[in-house]
A and B are shown apart, each in its own frame.
Chain A
Amino acid sequence: MTEKQNCILRIDNLIKIFDDAETEDTILKGLNLTVQRGEFMCILGPSGCGKTTFLRCIAGFEEFDGQIYVDGHKCSVPGTDRIMVFQDFNQLFPWKTVEQNIQYPLKLQGLRDKDELRRISEESLIKVKLQGYERYYPHQLSGGMKQRVAIAKALALKPALILMDEPFAALDAMTRSELQEEVLRISEQEGSTVIFVTHNIEEAITLGTRILVFQKGGQVVFDEKNPIKRPVTPLAENYGAIWEKLHRALHSEDGG
């Protein structure tokens, strides 16, 4: 497969300006980027660098200037080919059970066969290790479990891109590392393309096959393949070196 066919996301000159009545804030100043199929791209950056806005533009939640192509199609509004997993635990609809939350988007796509729906929701719940929780309502689940359901919901839709906006930032350290492992395993099994925004260097090194660092204005100051073979542990060769590099790139604007 040539490089071009393999490209799942192409971004041309993406500009995003937040235009209040008084202030005009340029969040993204002409960003260009391509993402290959199957890549797990982690984006690191200080707060306010535009990494979340970047993700929201891809998801179609924001108006923007420039072009975004997913699988060759131009995107400007939300669509099920790009599913967002938010940081907020409350992204599941509280009035639907776990199973209904997963099946609802599929029903909207026209899937009516009850057995097929059940099969898909069961399958994706097994992937996130939540089988048996089909009939639970979101308020009966812990934060980590809710995030698992959100991931299962995304998987069931088989999107071209899974967009994750610091999905584990609000979790305790143990649950976070558990979920990181799950996401890693799932993305390898499914061959999903993931764009994962985080502010945690360790998380980026653990998960990413490619790591980017944004600075103010959505400026890409670092863009390299992760040299460390999975599974990544702090004892791996190069871990310290890449950590150091990322740390420096992250703090490159501190003037230090």
Chain B
Amino acid sequence: MRKKEKKGFWIQIVFIALMLVVWETAARLRLFGPRSEIIFPPLEAIGRAFVLNFAKGYGGVSLWRYIGNSMKLLGEGLLIGIILALILSGACMVSVSFRRIYSLVIAVMDLLPGVAMLPVVIIIFGISPGVIVFLVVHSVLWPMSRNVLDGFLAVPRIYVEAGKNIGLRGISLLLGVYLPASVTYVISGLKVGWARAWRGLISAEMIFGIASCPGIGLYINQMRVNLNNAEMYATLLVIIIIGLIVQYGILVPIENRTVKKWGMSR
């Protein structure tokens, strides 16, 4: 097993190195003529831009500030979305009528891209960070609810009965049995929800950046407007890196400490 994993890791490294070589070759050969510098800036330029993004930033504001703003709004939205999803899915276990209605709401709302609601949301919230938080909540709430509800409904009857037998009722049964028993589902909801929220956040920031609370999306857009494409690519790298950090620094450890440790997933 270990050996196989190691081999897989090296294959991935070789693949990445190969891609970088292809990129650099395309840049050196100026494959796209005069536009080549914009489409394929040399790796060195991207690397320098990566450092400059943080050191100098744009208009005297470092990329750190942009990242900080984005992460703050993302964090607020995720927190609200996750808590709402848990409360509403929990309510579904109490009332069957509510479950019917909420399932319908999930099915409908999940199809609506957050960005498509921007015009309305802007009218409600004005051009304020609230819009971004709303969009993040929208992206995480529905997939998370769908997963949590599926998880609750899939809890084996024996856990519920064992829970009732030792005196759990209502909310204590929900928190003491339903929630831990469906952690697998909650985590997969988190994965989907977080990825959607992250993308939704960047799109929204790109479509309309808020000067009072500038985020990563706005930064990319500013780079685009100024044709600083090396900086733009460098920022895309930052987006990927943040995504990887959340995946491997937060979600995977959560998984290892719960379902893996409890033998509920391989």
Q: A residues engaging B (CB < 8 A)? A: 59-61, 77-80, 82-84, 86, 88, 90-95, 104-105, 108-109, 137-140, 157
Partner of A94, one of B164, B165, B176, B263: B263
Q: Are A86 and B164 in contact (CB under 8 A)?
A: no
Complexed CA–CA distance, A184 and B177 (Å): 31
Q: Is the CB of B262 within 8 A of A78?
A: no
Give the nearest-CB partner of A78 in chain B.
B164
Chain B 172-199 interface mask (CB, 8 Å, partner A; 1/0): 1000110011010000000000000000
| Contact present for B162 and A93 (CB under 8 Å) | yes
Interface size class of B (residues with CB under 8 A): 20 to 34
Chain A residue numbers with a CB within 8 Å of B177 are 93
Kindly identify which residue among B158, B172, B180, B263 contacts A88, using a CB–CB cutoff of 8 Å: B158
Report if B261 contacts A (CB, 8 A): yes
Could you tell me if A78 and B264 are in contact, using CB atoms closer than 8 angstroms? no
Interface residues of B in 139-182 (CB under 8 A from A): 156, 158-159, 161-162, 164-168, 172, 176-177, 180-181
Judged by a CB distance under 8 angstroms, whether B258 is at the interface is yes
User: Chain A residues with Cβ under 8 A from B262's Cβ?
Assistant: 94-95, 137, 139
Known: A83-B166, A93-B177. 6 other contacts (CB 8 A): A78-B164, A91-B158, A91-B159, A104-B166, A138-B263, A139-B263
Q: Which residues of A contact B264 (CB under 8 A)?
A: 94-95, 139
What's the count of A-B pairs with C-beta under 8 Å?
A: 64
Bound-state CA distance A28–B167 (Å) is 26
Please tell me if the beta carbons of A109 and B183 are within 8 angstroms of each other in the complex: no
Query: Known interface pairs A80-B167, A95-B180. Does A137 touch B162 (Cβ–Cβ under 8 Å)?
Result: no
Do A59 and B263 have beta carbons less than 8 Å apart?
A: no
Docked-complex contact B261 and A137, CB < 8 angstroms? yes
CB within 8 Å of A: which residues of B? 156, 158-159, 161-162, 164-168, 172, 176-177, 180-181, 183, 258, 261-264
B33 to chain A minimum Cβ distance, whole angstroms, is: 61
C-alpha spacing A105/B167, complex, angstroms: 7
Does A78 lie within 8 Å of B165, measured CB to CB? yes
Chain B residues near A82 (CB-CB < 8 A): 165
**B180/A93 in contact, CB under 8 A:** yes
B166 touches A105 (CB 8 A): yes
> Max chain A CB contacts within 10 Å: which of B164, B165, B177, B180?
B165
Determine the residue in chain A with the shortest Cβ distance to B168.
A108
Residues of chain B within 8 A of A137, CB atoms compared: 261-263
Determine whether the beta carbon of A91 is less than 8 Å from that of B167: no
Shortest C-beta distance, B179 to chain A (Å), equals: 10
A90 & B263 in contact (Cβ 8 Å cutoff): no
In the complex the two chains form, what is the Cα distance from A93 to B166 in whole Å? Answer: 12
Least CB distance, A87 to chain B, in whole angstroms = 10
Residues of B near A104 (CB, < 8 A) are 166, 176
B263 touches A86 (CB 8 A): no
Q: When the two chains form their complex, are residues A95 and B258 in contact, meaning their CB atoms are under 8 A apart?
A: yes
Among A79, A138, A139, the residue within 8 A (CB) of B167 is A79
Minimum CB distance partner of B166 in chain A: A105
Q: How far is the CB of A73 from chain B (nearest CB, A)?
A: 15
Most buried by A among B162, B168, B172, B176: B162
The answer for the CA separation of A137 and B261 in the assembled complex, in Å, is: 8
Chain B min CB distance to A103 (Å)? 11
Q: Knowing A95-B183, A95-B258 are in contact, say whether A84-B161 is a contact too (CB < 8 A).
A: yes
Closest to A87 in B: B158
Q: How far is the CA of A249 from the CA of B262 in the complex (A)?
A: 45
A140 CB → nearest B CB, Å: 7
